[in-house]
């Protein structure tokens, strides 16, 4: 007989007395509140305040009094640098989906089997992911430095004039995206490898016996099997693109002439460093809406996948 | 092995080596750059140094500020890990073990943190931290970081706790062991793998965090290492070798830590992702 069944036979007063004496109520009252308080105070409350502040023109001192309605949002919508920032975020999404993820998938297919050489490659490819983004940004700002870095050495080797890609309006963001691919493809690859290792070996064997070629096995056995992993990694690529900040600061700091901002560096530069709390909060609200939209969209796809 | 297979395999390894060099070349140039003079970096960024000059590494290692940055980061990250593990596992235990009215709602509420990026609320967070009077203290980093880690931690903990054998609790219960005591005596000790996974995840997040310390820490005494590194870079703009030595000295512990705790890191960083 289980405890639950035993408890159900007792009268209410007895049940209450028991749950007090065995610490059931105490447990809930002691163990739960710390998490609720911390989470409410430092996550949910600031989120709500973000929405509130976004209707004010406020420099952060005293209390917000200058109510401006939707003016902050209008200013953001009309700000060309914000358009650039959103465009850059979309570029990161595109590069992640169409360059980084296929590369990660190809590598995962090449090294998912458990052999010592594959283990070494796996380790190398995952290495950039564990570095701090600021460190990655600094390392690459050296690589791209036209005076000192690897680009300088390569240019010198070919006797060509050195170039400063991070100072180039057209190409600086391409450099930023190179760093992002370098930093994150190993993460996506690891997700695929974990999924590929769970493909039943006999399915692959059966396909092979029936005369399927390697590419056919990949296409009709392995990729269908790891589809959930691909959906998940796409979600992380998109959510990740919305959050890019650390890498940009050491690389370009949003420059040259504000061409390489992302939504978060935009928020930081035009909201925080100038103490436009209302304006920055409005950017935060927009970012929140974007993230929630992605999450809900993803959830729908994911649910549909589960029902099928 | 047939000839076709052999060629395929050579192509495969060649491609893998190409990608590996794309990954490793910048890191290698960084490590080696710390040994070179700036003139040498300028002409050959990737080659071995003509002479292994230890001066730049040495000056950083003997700089107390460097160790203070690392110490601050270590303290903040450890505190965030301990707090997240205690607070998160306690809450998850309640959700896994005790059914009560509204528990599902509270659980969903605590998971909301998974839905949006940290940066969305950074400005109000800055105001809040300032108004409480925590600005420029370690708590200003520890508490928000813990709060933001709670969602994932509670999700993973609850899943794990629910998989623990129910008979264990029933036996302990009949012997008179209460809920809180059971949590300390049995649930936590049995949950070492998931505690390690979440712990490593939170530690890495906190150790590498840049935006939050940047916003809430002002004085160099309180700086974490990413802030210290940017500060250092600002001071030695023209001396890449010093900056590269600094970067190397900060990524080496990360790499050593990764190699040591590889199992938990891969599980924590990708496994947590897949489940979430």
The domain segmentation of chain B, as residue ranges, is: 3-56, 63-275
Coil, strand, or helix at residue B272?
A: helix
pLDDT at B138: 95
Mean pLDDT value of segment A174-199: 93
pLDDT confidence tier of residue B109, bands split at 50, 70 and 90: very high
Looking at the complex, report in whole angstroms how far the Cα of residue A51 sits from the nearest Cα belonging to chain B: 9
How far apart, in whole angstroms, are the C-alpha atoms of residue A141 and residue A118?
30
Nearest to A69 by CA among A83, A52, A46, A50: A52
Mean pLDDT value of segment B39-68: 88
Top mean-pLDDT range of A13-17, A61-65, A239-243: A239-243
Mean pLDDT value of segment A12-39: 80
Mean pLDDT value of segment A108-129: 92
pLDDT at A164: 87
Give CA angle at B268 (B150, B142), nearest 5°. Answer: 35
Is A161 or B36 the better-scoring residue by pLDDT? B36
Has residue A261 got a pLDDT over 50?
yes
Partners of residue A31 in chain B, C-beta under 8 Å:
90-91, 93-94, 180, 183
Nearest CB to B154; choose among A35, A53, A111: A35
φ/ψ of B203, rounded to 5, equals: -60, -50
Convert the pLDDT of each residue in B113-149 to its tens digit. 888 888 898 999 999 999 999 999 999 999 999 999 9
Partners of residue B116 in chain A, C-beta under 8 Å:
47, 287-288, 291-292, 295
Give CA angle at A52 (A46, A54), nearest 5°. Answer: 100
How far apart, in whole angstroms, are the C-alpha atoms of residue A31 and residue B143?
17
Coil, strand, or helix at residue A233?
A: helix
Listed range (A271-285, B144-158, B165-179, B201-215) with the worst mean pLDDT: B165-179
Coil, strand, or helix at residue A197?
A: coil
How many Cα neighbours within 13 Å face the side chain of A114? 4
pLDDT confidence tier of residue B274, bands split at 50, 70 and 90: very low
Has residue B275 got a pLDDT over 70?
no
How far apart, in whole angstroms, are the C-alpha atoms of residue B88 and residue B147?
9
pLDDT at B246: 95
Partners of residue A295 in chain B, C-beta under 8 Å:
114-116
Convert the pLDDT of each residue in B204-257 to its tens digit. 889 999 999 999 999 999 999 999 999 999 998 888 999 999 999 998 888 888
Contact A284 B88 (CB under 8 A): no
Longest dimension (CA), chain B: 76
pLDDT confidence tier of residue A307, bands split at 50, 70 and 90: very low
Looking at the complex, report in whole angstroms how far the Cα of residue B90 sits from the nearest Cα belonging to chain A: 5
pLDDT at A298: 84
The chain B residue lying nearest A232, using CA atoms, is: B274
Partners of residue B45 in chain A, C-beta under 8 Å:
142-143, 148-150, 152-153
Top mean-pLDDT range of A14-18, A163-167, B123-127: B123-127
How many Cα neighbours within 13 Å face the side chain of A94? 7
pLDDT at B276: 37
Contact A271 B123 (CB under 8 A): yes
pLDDT at A304: 64
Which CATH class, in words, describes the domain spanning B63-275? Answer: mainly alpha
pLDDT at B11: 93
Convert the pLDDT of each residue in B248-273 to its tens digit. 999 888 888 888 877 777 666 665 55
The chain A residue lying nearest B38, using CA atoms, is: A148
Is A274 or A1 the better-scoring residue by pLDDT? A274
How many Cα neighbours within 13 Å face the side chain of B32? 20
How far apart, in Å, do the first and last CA atoms of chain B sit? 43
Has residue A15 got a pLDDT over 70?
no
Contact B120 A32 (CB under 8 A): no
Has residue B55 got a pLDDT over 50?
yes
Coil, strand, or helix at residue B91?
A: helix
How far apart, in whole angstroms, are the C-alpha atoms of residue B193 and residue B159?
13
Mean pLDDT value of segment B143-169: 91
pLDDT at B165: 86
Partners of residue A245 in chain B, C-beta under 8 Å:
119, 210-211
Containing B204, the helix (H) or strand (E) segment is: helix B192-208
Has residue B198 got a pLDDT over 60?
yes
Write a three-state SS string for A253-302.
Answer: CCCCCCCCCCHHHHHHHHHHCCCCHHHHHHHHHHHHHHHHHHHHHHHHHH
Contact A134 B210 (CB under 8 A): yes
pLDDT confidence tier of residue A20, bands split at 50, 70 and 90: low
Nearest to A279 by CA among A38, A53, A65: A53
Mean pLDDT value of segment A255-269: 93
Listed range (A19-23, A58-62, B46-50, B159-163) with the worst mean pLDDT: A19-23
Listed range (A134-148, A235-249, B16-30, B44-58) with the worst mean pLDDT: B44-58
The chain B residue lying nearest A195, using CA atoms, is: B274
Residue among B112, B124, B166 with most chain A CBs within 10 A, to mutate: B124
Query: Rounded to the nearest 10 degrees, how much is the dihedral formed by the CA atoms of B201, A35, A296, A70?
Result: -110
- Alpha carbon A172 to its chain centroid, in Å, reads 21
How many Cα neighbours within 13 Å face the side chain of B161? 26
Residue among B121, B146, B244, B250 with most chain A CBs within 10 A, to mutate: B121
pLDDT at B193: 87
Mean pLDDT value of segment B100-111: 91
Nearest to B187 by CA among B100, B106, B265, B92: B92
Contact A249 B230 (CB under 8 A): yes
Has residue A158 got a pLDDT over 50?
yes
Determine contact, residues A126/A187, Cβ cutoff 8 Å: yes
Task: Give me the long-range contacts of B53-58 (CB less than 8 A, separation at least 24).
Answer: B56/B241, B56/B242, B56/B244, B56/B245, B57/B245, B57/B248, B57/B249
Looking at the complex, report in whole angstroms how far the Cα of residue B121 sits from the nearest Cα belonging to chain A: 5
Partners of residue A103 in chain B, C-beta under 8 Å:
19
The chain A residue lying nearest B180, using CA atoms, is: A27
Is A155 or B256 the better-scoring residue by pLDDT? B256
Nearest CB to B210; choose among A60, A246, A272: A246
Nearest to A157 by CA among B46, B6, B259, B270: B46
What does DSSP assign to residue B161?
A: H
Mean pLDDT of chain A: 88
Percent of chain B residues topping a pLDDT of 70: 95
pLDDT at A9: 62
What does DSSP assign to residue A161?
A: P
Domains of chain A in start order, with CATH, are 1-31 (no CATH), 71-307 (1.10.3720.10)
Partners of residue A131 in chain B, C-beta under 8 Å:
208, 251, 254
Determine contact, residues A246/B210, Cβ cutoff 8 Å: yes
């Amino acid at each position: 007989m289980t405890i639950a069944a035993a408890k159900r036979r007792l009268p209410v007063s007895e049940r209450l007395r028991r749950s007090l004496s065995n610490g059931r109520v105490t447990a809930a009252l002691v163990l739960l509140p710390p998490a609720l308080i911390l989470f409410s105070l430092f996550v949910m409350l600031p989120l709500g305040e973000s929405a509130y502040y976004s209707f004010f023109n406020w420099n952060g001192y005293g209390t917000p009094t200058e109510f401006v309605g939707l003016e902050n949002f209008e200013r953001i919508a009309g700000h060309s640098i914000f358009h650039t920032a959103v465009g850059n975020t979309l570029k990161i999404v595109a590069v992640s989906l169409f360059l980084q993820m296929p590369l990660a998938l190809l590598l995962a297919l090449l090294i998912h089997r458990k052999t010592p050489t594959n283990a070494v490659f796996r380790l190398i490819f995952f290495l950039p992911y564990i570095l701090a983004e600021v460190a990655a940004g600094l390392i690459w700002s050296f690589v791209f430095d036209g005076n000192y870095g690897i680009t300088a050495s390569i240019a010198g080797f070919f006797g060509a004039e050195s170039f400063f890609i991070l100072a180039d309006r057209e190409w600086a963001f391409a450099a930023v995206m190179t760093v992002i691919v370098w930093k994150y493809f190993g993460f996506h690859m690891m997700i695929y490898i974990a999924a590929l290792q769970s493909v039943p070996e006999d399915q692959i064997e059966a396909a092979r016996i029936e005369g399927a070629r390697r590419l056919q096995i990949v296409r009709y056995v392995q990729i269908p099997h790891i589809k959930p992993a691909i959906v998940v990694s796409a979600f992380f690529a998109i959510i990740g693109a919305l959050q890019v900040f650390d890498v940009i600061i050491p690389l370009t700091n949003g420059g040259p002439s504000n061409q390489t901002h992302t939504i978060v560096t935009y928020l930081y530069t035009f909201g925080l460093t100038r103490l436009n709390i209302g304006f920055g909060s409005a950017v935060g609200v927009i970012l929140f809406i974007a993230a929630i939209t992605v999450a809900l969209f993803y959830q729908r796809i994911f649910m549909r996948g589960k029902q099928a | 092995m047939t000839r076709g297979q052999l060629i395929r395999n050579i192509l495969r390894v060649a491609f893998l080596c190409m990608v590996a060099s794309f990954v490793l070349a910048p890191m290698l140039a960084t490590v080696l750059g710390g040994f070179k003079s700036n003139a040498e970096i300028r002409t050959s960024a990737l080659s071995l140094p003509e002479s292994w000059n230890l001066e730049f590494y040495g000056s950083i290692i003997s700089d107390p500020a460097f160790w203070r940055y690392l110490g601050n980061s270590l303290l903040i990250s450890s505190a965030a890990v301990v707090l997240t593990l205690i607070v998160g596992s306690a809450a998850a235990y309640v959700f896994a073990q005790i059914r009560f009215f509204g528990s599902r709602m509270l659980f969903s509420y605590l998971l909301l943190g998974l839905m949006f990026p940290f940066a969305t609320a950074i400005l109000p967070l800055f105001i809040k931290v300032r108004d409480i009077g925590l600005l420029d203290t370690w708590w200003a980093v520890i508490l928000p970081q813990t709060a933001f880690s709670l969602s994932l931690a509670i999700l993973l903990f609850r899943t794990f706790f629910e998989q623990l054998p129910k008979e264990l609790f029933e036996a302990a219960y009949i012997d008179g062991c209460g809920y809180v005591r059971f949590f300390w005596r049995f649930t936590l000790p049995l949950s070492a793998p998931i505690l390690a996974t979440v712990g490593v995840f939170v530690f890495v997040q906190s150790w590498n965090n840049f935006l939050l310390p940047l916003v809430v820490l002002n004085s160099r005494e309180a700086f974490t290492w990413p802030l210290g590194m940017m500060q250092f870079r600002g001071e030695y703009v023209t001396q890449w070798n010093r900056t590269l030595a600094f970067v190397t000295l900060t990524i080496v512990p990360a790499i050593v830590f990764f190699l040591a705790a590889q199992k938990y890191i891969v599980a924590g960083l990708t496994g947590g992702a897949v489940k979430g």
